[in-house]
Amino acid sequence: MDPLELTLMEAAAALRTRQLGHLEYIQALLAQTDRLSLLNAWISRDPERLIEQAKAMDQAHPDPELQQALAGIPIAIKDNIDTTDFPTSGGTRALLNARPKRNAPVVDALLQSGALIAGKTNLHELALGGTNHNAVTGACRNPWDPSRISGGSSGGSAVAVAARMVPAALGTDTGASVRLPAALCGVVGLRPTTGRYPSEGMLHLSPSKDTVGLMARSVADVAWLDGLLAHAPFDLPHLSLKGVRLGLPRADFFEGADPDVLAVIERSLQALIREGVECVPLEINELNLHNEATGSTLVMFEMVRSLPTYLQQHSMPMDALLAGIGSPDVARLLSRQLGAEPVTSAAYAAAQDRRQKLQAVYARHFADHRLDALAFPTCRMTAPPIGQDDWVTLLGRQMPTFSTLIRNTDPGSNAGLPGISIPVGLTAEGLPVGLELDGAWGSDRHLLRVAAAIERALPPMPRPPGV
């Protein structure tokens, strides 16, 4: 038994039946973390604490009938989610030592199930970007190719899972921040329906868009954690792919993608069609019209109100936060909104109206076409090299980095829909490609059943080279 290859549920079962010792498991994960420290997945850790916790569990003689479901499982927490045992820094200099007074409710839920906190993971500074090239905490590196980005903003969480440092992690997702790094690092990433999980105890960008999200190496693991955080049934009944209807919005989500990415996606879709999946071509004509006037307007307007509110618990003025910003892209975003180009209340109200129209467009297409999910490439490209913070090359053209990376994930986020990215293969360069499935509002458990069925029908992802 290789402890590193165990999924969350497999590890929990092995620990519960004593096929695997808690200390043995923790030491294997810690050794892997130390060996791959170059990837820079973490901001803060306490290995000695984990070792002591594991020893105590090995010495105890719990009743298997009463044992907590996640007893002894270390889970990584993105460093913008509050924990009392570690600072919550947001990856920015002014908060590196800021210790919250209470855990976020999602963290408490994990702890009450017996999970351990593996540490706090690296992120794009203040979660305001998609590369995780953080000038304060350092770039987080992709385990498939350390010269490339992990994706962001939850890059450290994705890297920790992909590199077998932990079996699962929490991230947060505003417009892409769980699904994008999951796709670029070859793991499963779930953004739930907005409001499905408690949102307190987060360093929010946009309270109306932000949500905690989940990462693991299997859909079953993500589904289990979703059940825990949403107080939903833990089981995920088997679903046959025969008759499952996937909407393919090709003009809106496929066009302009890297041909190598499309080749992997099309190969996967053909495999699903052979299993009985019905692929439904879609044209969502109003999608871009409503989406482009929604996302960034909502985030920028809400961010300059939510950040000062969060800082109050640390008695920190906004000026102190701004003085510690290290990443140029983040500094530019904040300076525009706090300076001469703020989003007005009128623009914000218009964006909220557009969001309602966007939600109506999605609802109509799901109903009219009897869709189980929309399916499309999570990202139109594979992970670009570290350092391309402003511009990336796609199809031989220079494109804005952030908008290019989040192009496919942002519309569903603005509508508050559940979305899951599952790894479906590697390009000829050996880089992961993610297939995103977006579900109708509130259809999280059905979406997870569809994702699990698709996962079973496709070849498993290999381990990253060198990991």
Catalytic residues: 78, 153, 177
Q: Which two tokens stand for residue 409?
A: 């994930």
DSSP label at 161? H
Bridging pattern class, strands 74-78 and 373-377: unpaired
Q: Within a 13 Å sphere around the CA of 187, how many CA atoms are in the beta-carbon half?
A: 40
Looking up tokens 């402003």, which residue turns up? 390
462 Cβ partners below 8 Å, 6+ apart? 426
Separation of alpha carbons 83 and 318, rounded Å: 22
Q: SS3 for 361?
A: helix
Separation of alpha carbons 389 and 328, rounded Å: 9
- State phi, psi for 145 to the nearest 5 degrees: -165, 100
Looking up tokens 């779930």, which residue turns up? 190
Choose among 209, 151, 196: nearest CA to 177.
151
Looking up tokens 């970007």, which residue turns up? 129
Separation of alpha carbons 258 and 414, rounded Å: 24
Separation of alpha carbons 349 and 234, rounded Å: 39
In terms of Cβ atoms closer than 10 Å to its own Cβ (0-12, 13-18, 19+), residue 369 is: middle
Separation of alpha carbons 65 and 347, rounded Å: 56
